Amino acid sequence: MGNLSYRMIYIGGAPAGLLGVDELFNVLFEAGMTPGDENLGEKLIKGVKKHNFVPKPAIKDYQDVLLREYLKYYHARTGGEAPVTRDYGQWEGYPREHIPWFPTVSEELCNGCGKCIEVCPKDVFQPMENGKVMVIEPFLCIVGCCFCKSACDPKAILMPQREMLDQYRHGQMHAT
Ligand code: SF4
Ligand code: SF4
């Protein structure tokens, strides 16, 4: 238990420290679990709950983040690379990962047209085996940009309200 890995992930913009995620990913990978598996989300939550408290109202958020992280892990392992921790830089003096600005894709509404991938200047999206797209690198998203949202005909992409950024611009968040 004392030797479990520790990983910071961002749930709805707030950091959460999770124990044993790397071990869980490894077990699932070794068991042949692909990112498109319909039971993956459930298995991730079940595995994470073994060593961490997951608040009930946040289960969906945890699941989305864990699915994304597993997809990255899976690609790194299948590509033979060791998973890397990226530096996402800063925005207005804050680590980029502290700014909850990134698209959220509705799996239900997405038709897999790929327009979001075409218009995005960064590698935020990734096509999935199930024909939809997934946000795989949310913190590469350019703060304030909304290109993909405008390009998405079925309105499957949600972006935060721009006003949310004001509190960061005016330094109000530095008070903590
Ligand atoms: S533009 Fe919208 S519908 Fe098309 S792939 Fe992207 S999220 Fe899905
Ligand atoms: S908002 Fe802009 S940078 Fe962010 S994902 Fe969409 S197109 Fe890419």
Ligand nearest, relative to CA of residue 138: 2
Q: What is the pLDDT of residues 86-124, one digit of tens each?
A: 788 999 998 888 888 999 888 889 999 999 999 999 999
Q: What pLDDT was estimated at residue 84?
A: 65
Both tokens of residue 115? 């327009």
Torsion angle defined by CA atoms of residues 130, 133, 139 and 142, in that order, rounded to the nearest 10 degrees: 170
Most confident of 3-12, 26-35, 59-68: 26-35
Query: What pLDDT band is residue 167 in, cutting at 50, 70 and 90?
Result: confident
Contact 172, 120 (CB under 8 A): no
CB 105 within 8 A of CB 156: yes
For the CA of 106, the closest atom of ligand 1 is 7
Of 1-10, 121-130, 146-155, give the lowest mean pLDDT range: 1-10
Q: How far is the CA of 28 from the centre of ligand 2 (A)?
A: 30
Mean pLDDT of the chain: 87
pLDDT at 145 over 80: yes
Predicted model pTM: 0.69
Domains and CATH numbers, the chain: 6-78 (no CATH), 98-175 (3.30.70.20)
Cα gap 47→59, rounded to integer Å: 13
**C-alpha 69 – ligand 2 centre gap (Å):** 19
Residue with the nearest Cα to atom 3 of ligand 1?
Answer: 110
* pLDDT above 70: percentage of residues in the chain: 91
Task: Report the nearest atom of ligand 2 relative to the CA of 119.
Answer: 7
Beta bridge partners of 135: 125
Among residues 172, 175, 170, 160, the alpha carbon closest in space to that of 12 is found at: 160
Whether residue 51 contacts residue 4, with contact meaning beta carbons closer than 8 Å, is answered with: yes
- Tell me if 112 sits within 8 A of 133, measured CB to CB: yes
| Residue of 107, 113, 118 best suited for mutating to test ligand 1, as the one with most atoms within 8 Å of CB | 113
